Amino acid sequence: MTFLEELLAFVGFDDADRARLRELHPRLAPRFPDIANRFYEAVFANPGAAAVLSGPAQVERLRASLIDWMSSGLLGPYDERFYEKRSRIGRRHVTVGLASQYMFTAMTVLRLAYQSGIAELYPAGEALTIMRSIHKLLDIELAIMVQHYELDTEDKLVRRERRAQADRILAMQTMSAGLAHEVRNPLNAAKLQLELLERRLNRTMADPRLTEPTELAQKEIDRLTTLLNEFLVFARPPELHPQEHDVVAILRQVVDLEQIAAEARGITLTVDAAPPQVIAEVDVAKLHQLVQNLVRNATEAVGPGGRVTVSARVDDDRCTIRVTDNGPGIPDQVQPRIYEPFFSTKEGGTGLGMSIVHSLVSLHGGAIDLATGPGGTTFEVTIPRWRRCGPARRTVALVRR
């Protein structure tokens, strides 16, 4: 059921209402210009509402639009075209900065104007029935327009949270960069001294009791070096080096690399190759690392018999990559912290994998979204297809799609 169908059903807007409003139209339409004049008189009487109007020319255009809006509201049909026209009005109100309370007060002005006209045109009993149909219609109109204020508020909250997340990551990156540089020199020195000690022991004696501890220490230093390198990738992401490349090919490379480990654990790892090719301007190595981190997380989240699917979708200007698993989902208390540096629910995990993903997505000028529940988890990464989206570039994009 669409949003409009849900509204129509909720207020009980039926065929009888439609018939009453169509019959009302030719009788009320001659009054539309006067209603529009009264409407804008009320607007100009309120400084807050009047502030969004730029001048007489705009008011005249809006007055003509209001008359058309009243006419189409009575005549219908109440279909997707009707919904889209009302949605445009809601989006426009958000764009020009009209506060939402003015929509409610403006709708009251129209209700009263309709009521006055209907009271003059119909007997009292019939006028009441027609006004009930009008109330249903105007409530539907109002709900559609208010929806866009809610969407705008949600979007602002998401942007605010992403900015806060980026600020937290930046602070941790600064700290990690300093830590990594302080640790790297003594770690390299320790590794060098162990290598010298091991060579001397091998020259003088072949006693494994003496060489085994040095080999173990070497392995631990190698592990720390790997961790240090992750710190540096997180702390100071290198510059982006974008080039035109097939994103689906990158997804296939990642899946090929992770396939053996996935099959060993009884996990099905696949690429959804529709479309078979997605050309975009990306940093190949960084996008590869981004997707690989997401795929590894997904394969670790599912048990034997689990499934992980990697896919890409495209429109003219943006590319969307999804990594979906059928694991148990991410607990509610964990979700707010998944991009937090050094936070991990895995034993021995560094907690940097998803922070690195977040940094690399931001580096590409994109966004990452999460949908999770008992049936599985999907990470959706959306990035611009082109770094410079001029007319010539857009033509290439359409041809290669």
Question: For 65-80, how does the pLDDT look when each residue is reduced to its tens digit (9 = 90+)?
Answer: 888 888 988 998 888 8
Distance CA 131, CA 116 (A): 10
With a pLDDT cut of 70, the percent of the chain lying above it is 78
Token readout for 327 is: 């694991």
Distance CA 44, CA 364 (A): 46
| HSE toward the beta carbon, residue 31, CA cutoff 13 A | 18
What does the pLDDT read at residue 82? 86
Asked, colleague to colleague, whether 3-157 and 165-235 share their fold, the answer is no
Q: Tell me: pLDDT of 390 over 50.
A: no
Choice among 18-22, 122-126, 338-342 with the minimum mean pLDDT: 338-342
Distance CA 226, CA 398 (A): 42
- Could you tell me which residue, 171 or 293, shows the higher pLDDT? 293
* Mean pLDDT value of segment 257-262: 92
Architecture of domain 243-400: 2-Layer Sandwich (3.30)
Q: 228, 180 in Cβ contact below 8 A?
A: yes
* Mean pLDDT value of segment 118-145: 90
Within 270-389, where are the H helices? 284-301, 353-363
Distance CA 309, CA 299 (A): 10
How does residue 354 score in pLDDT terms, banded at 50, 70 and 90? confident
How does residue 398 score in pLDDT terms, banded at 50, 70 and 90? very low
What does the pLDDT read at residue 191? 80
Distances (CA, A) of 4 to 10, 74, 139, 145, 170: 10, 16, 12, 12, 43
What does the pLDDT read at residue 393? 39
What does the pLDDT read at residue 306? 93
Distance CA 191, CA 185 (A): 10
The residue written with tokens 């998401």 in the block is 158
What does the pLDDT read at residue 179? 67
How does residue 392 score in pLDDT terms, banded at 50, 70 and 90? very low
Amino acid at site 107: M
- What is the topology classification, in CATH, of domain 165-235? Helix Hairpins (1.10.287)
What does the pLDDT read at residue 4? 86
Token readout for 266 is: 């009884």
What does the pLDDT read at residue 47? 72
Count of Cβ atoms closer than 10 Å to residue 253 Cβ:
15
Contacts of residue 291, Cβ cutoff 8 Å, sequence gap at least 6: 250, 251, 254, 310, 321, 323
What does the pLDDT read at residue 63? 77
- Could you tell me which residue, 16 or 240, shows the higher pLDDT? 16
What does the pLDDT read at residue 399? 30
Q: Tell me: pLDDT of 329 over 90.
A: yes
Distances (CA, A) of 280 to 244, 264, 321: 5, 33, 12
What does the pLDDT read at residue 218? 81
Q: Would you call 329 exposed, middle or buried from its count of C-beta atoms within 10 A (0-12, 13-18, 19+)?
A: middle
What does the pLDDT read at residue 101? 67
Distances (CA, A) of 269 to 229, 251, 310: 28, 11, 8
- Could you tell me which residue, 254 or 205, shows the higher pLDDT? 254
| HSE toward the beta carbon, residue 185, CA cutoff 13 A | 4
The residue written with tokens 């929509």 in the block is 103
With a pLDDT cut of 90, the percent of the chain lying above it is 32
Q: Tell me: pLDDT of 376 over 60.
A: yes
* Domain regions of the chain by residue span: 3-157, 165-235, 243-400
What does the pLDDT read at residue 389? 44
Q: 375, 307 in Cβ contact below 8 A?
A: no
Q: 289, 251 in Cβ contact below 8 A?
A: no
Q: Tell me: pLDDT of 350 over 70.
A: no
Distance CA 260, CA 180 (A): 32
- What is the topology classification, in CATH, of domain 3-157? Globin-like (1.10.490)
b/e string for 347-359 if b means 16 or more Cβ within 10 A?
A: eeebbbbbbbbbb
What does the pLDDT read at residue 30? 92
Q: 293, 319 in Cβ contact below 8 A?
A: no
Q: What are the two backbone dihedrals, phi and then psi, of residue 303, each rounded to the nearest 5 degrees? A: -95, -175
What does the pLDDT read at residue 55? 65
Q: Would you call 341 exposed, middle or buried from its count of C-beta atoms within 10 A (0-12, 13-18, 19+)?
A: buried
Q: 283, 364 in Cβ contact below 8 A?
A: yes
Q: Tell me: pLDDT of 335 over 80.
A: yes
- The average confidence (pLDDT) of the chain is 81
What does the pLDDT read at residue 271? 94
